[in-house]
Amino acid sequence: MEKRLNIGNKEIILKFNDGANCWQSNLNIGGVNIELEIDFFFHKESEVDWDHFIGFFKHIDQNDRLKKIITDSKQLALEVGKAFYRECYEEVSDYKMEFSNSIIYKGKTDGNYIKDGYSYSLVFNYWTKRDNGIFGDEYGIYLVEVENHFIVGARRHQC
């Protein structure tokens, strides 16, 4: 199944992955190549409100908003990684937090303050490259939760 959306001068093609129960697309937002997912494990509704999604895309694709949120989120995600590995931090002290070029769109916000806003997560990976290979948190991704342009939290999600 495929969904085509025309937003301004861009055409977004989302494909539904039955096995993962999510919509997926590779696209460019503000000069950043992104894998965007609407994953029903995270999505707040049983169906996608496509008009709301179009509003989300317009919101995130202006004034270098995405680049700024990525930059502002990186240190927060790094602190979550350090906290997770606090008992063995020496083993991961050379790890870095890197944006995985992935966004999980979750739909509308829940709160009264940002009613009908846009809820999404930026996905980060915690890893390093050493002489004997690449090492990282193989079982977790780091999510920075965003409501519109407000960073509202960060967590590690066990994969």
Please write the tens of the pLDDT for every residue from 73-125: 999 999 999 999 889 878 888 888 999 999 999 998 876 666 678 999 999 99
Alpha-helical regions (H) of the chain? 50-60, 65-84, 89-92
In angstroms, what is the C-alpha Rg of the chain? 16
Question: What's this model's pTM, rounded to 2 decimal places?
Answer: 0.90
Contact 159, 100 (CB under 8 A): no
**Predicted pLDDT at 32:** 92
Structure token digits, residue 20 = 């993962």
* Dist. CA 159–CA 147, nearest whole Å: 23
* Dist. CA 137–CA 77, nearest whole Å: 13
